A and B are shown apart, each in its own frame.
Chain A
Amino acid sequence: MQFVELANRYSSKVEVSNAALTVDAKSIMSVMRLAATQGAVLKITADGEDAEEAAEALVGLIRSGFGEMEDAGRDEQAT
């Protein structure tokens, strides 16, 4: 949720991919489909006016170990 909410704050088009799929990072249902679990490698692509900030912010969020997409209380280590 935090990931998607953050992505929605930027005007640029933002996409996130795993090895198999590329989806719209602003869509919670699409991001869920990545089924990203601990240790997954994700690629973030942004295109637009605030593209750089968007990409940085999202990578920062993952690296900081957000509790998104899982039960509260579990930390996820970013790769």
Chain B
Amino acid sequence: MKIKKGIGVSPGVAVARAVVLDAEEIDIPQRHVPVDHAQAEKSRLENAIRKSKEEILDLQQRTVDRIGKETASIFDFHLGMLEDKVLLEKFLDTIVSGSVTAEYAVQTVLRGYAKEFLAMPEYLADRVKDVYDIEKRLLRNLTGQARQSLSHLRQDVVVLAHDMTPSQTAGMDRDHIKGMAIDAGGRTSHTAIVARALGIPAVVGLNDITAEATGGDTVIIDGNRGVVVVDPDAHTLETYEQYAQQQVEFVHSLDALRDLPAITRDGHEVTLLGNIEFPPEADTVFEKGGQGIGLYRTEFLYLGSDTEPTEEDHYHAYRQVLEAVGDRPCVIRTVDLGADKYTQARARVPERNPFLGLRSIRYCLQNLGMFKTQLRAIFRAAADRRVSIMFPLITNLLELRQAKACVRDVMEDLEEDGVEHGTDVLVGMMVETPSAALQCNSFAQEVDFFSIGTNDLVQYTLAVDRGNERVASLFSSANPSVLRLIKEILRAGQRHGVPVSVCGEMAADVQYTLLLLGLGLRTFSCTPPAIPEIKKIIRSVTMEQALQVARRVMSFDTDQEIVSFLRIETRKILPEAYSD
């Protein structure tokens, strides 16, 4: 049994057999073989080693021919591994003593080495890439390659991977995947977003979970505490199965809140909206008691496919969402791409610092064709109803004015072309950069609404990369400087009559609800599964309590004090949200 601690990013508990993916989505299905198969497995392995050696010698020769001897020397290490007699002995011993397949032996032994190497000084740890490479090559030569597809699974599983890309998650078999555990990533990584939307537990930032588990292992994923247990012993398994049952009951109790209003005990109304990435999720928002869509992330139209979406592709997606929403609010955010495969693949020269680079609204303003295509589709889809358009990552007024000018241009074009389009359009912006937050009073005079993107606001204000597991613990929505900015934005909104919502992860976290209410927030937009719990706490407090909490919090100096305090206050009101 191995217990690993990471960052819990999606709540819940799952117990299932693991599917362990390497970077190329290859997984190891079978583990055991009958004892008399050992000889056959040994031969398979020896053949795979021989074949792999031939491949590498060939690769090496071609590299010498085309590039040069120096570069070809990178293969020396690979060859050295394949000729290593100690390694071969280990493989063979594992096959015989465990009665396992050659694949399983290869994976276990090499990952054991990988784990040791990862703990070494940097230039030695780099060799881990070569170890994984040889593993892939040997496995390919053994199994003749079966790419694990996550889209058709026959049984319930939990997925363990180094990282999960949008295209992998887009195709996932949602019925059978019960949890995720990822080496990479911080609290607001893509995995976290998808797991929360699906309502399955996820733990990220585990560093080397893929080296600790193999396909077929029983794995417990505890998204509440950020713990993953590989191969649990009987006692642990039983404890967790009970705990999982309690969680299911808790979630069911929250479903009863669906049709009840989000109103504090002393009668203050709060609006609860949902964040979505894909059109089918719109229904989930309403199933969970949301009153509309506060954030429709449209970049998934680009990330989920290999080709650029056409105006019709955009139109169909928006139409689907708007029809599901009816006359309830719907905020469509224009494309927020950047630091991802789409923009980096199209960059003439890859950016050195993509998070501060040509992304999001900047990218759109430099690619007006693409931007206007999206805007046209939004206008056409909203022909018979109100729609709200929101721009991400605005950092200065000129940018906002340029984006608004594009909106006007598109409207004029549609008028001229005689195409039916929406005329009741609200235009707002995300406040997610320090510059936007600090100039919020100026911005408030030029938009119809604000939405505070706390994920990016925290990232830029604290200068922390939320996806970097080495510094992920520095990322905190409770940082006093961030809270000051949020307070300012809410005040500017009140001063200028501009509605403000929070659509970042902070809105989904029950520990921040009292604080946000107390600072003046009246509209929360979060992932649908979180809506019932947020509603529950809103219904359990008075605004006076919230104001007191906010006042206390703003007097503290550090994230830690604030988090502790909020945990205590929240627990008093919603003890069942806490499992320990």
Contacts and interface: CB of A to CB of B under 8 A. Distances in A.
Given A1-B76, A72-B70, A32 B127 contact: yes
Contact of B81 (A23, A26, A28, A37): A28
B83 to A, nearest CB: 8
Name B's interface SS.
helix
Given A35-B121, A35-B124, A28 B70 contact: no
9 smallest CB-CB distances across A and B, nearest first, come from A27-B86, A28-B80, A35-B120, A1-B76, A27-B84, A29-B87, A70-B123, A30-B86, A29-B84
A60 B420 CA distance: 83
Contacts of A29: 81, 84, 86-87, 113
B124 A69 contact: yes
A4 interface: yes
Contacts of B73: 1, 72
Given A1-B77, A72-B70, A28 B84 contact: yes
Interface residues of B, number: 19
Nearest to A23: B86
Contacts of B120: 35
B412 interface: no
Interface of A: 1, 4-5, 8, 23-24, 26-30, 32-33, 35, 37, 69-72
B168 to A, nearest CB: 31
B77 A28 contact: yes
Nearest to B85: A27
A41 to B, nearest CB: 16
Contacts of A32: 113, 117, 124, 127
Contacts of A8: 83
A26 B127 contact: no
7 contacts: A5-B76, A5-B80, A27-B84, A28-B84, A29-B84, A32-B113, A32-B117
Contacts of B76: 1, 5
Interface of B: 70, 73, 76-77, 80-81, 83-87, 113, 116-117, 120-121, 123-124, 127
A22 to B, nearest CB: 12
Nearest to A69: B124
Contacts of A26: 85-86
A1 to B, nearest CB: 5
Contacts of B80: 1, 4-5, 28
Contacts of B83: 8, 28
Contacts, number: 47
Contacts of B123: 69-71
Contacts of A33: 113, 116
A71 B74 CA distance: 10
Given A28-B81, A29-B86, A29-B113, 8 more contacts: A5-B76, A23-B86, A24-B86, A27-B84, A29-B84, A32-B113, A35-B124, A70-B124
A72 B77 CA distance: 13
Contacts of A24: 85-86
A28 B87 CA distance: 9
Contact of A37 (B87, B116, B117, B121): B121
Contacts of A69: 123-124
A72 B81 CA distance: 19
Contacts of B127: 32
B108 to A, nearest CB: 14
Nearest to A71: B123
B552 to A, nearest CB: 50
Contacts of A4: 80
Contacts of A35: 120-121, 124
Contacts of B70: 72
Contacts of B87: 27, 29
A20 to B, nearest CB: 13
Contacts of B117: 32
Nearest to B82: A28
B246 to A, nearest CB: 44
A54 to B, nearest CB: 16
A58 to B, nearest CB: 16
Contacts of A70: 123-124
A26 B85 CA distance: 8
A69 B113 CA distance: 16
A29 B86 CA distance: 8
A24 B90 CA distance: 13
A8 B86 CA distance: 13
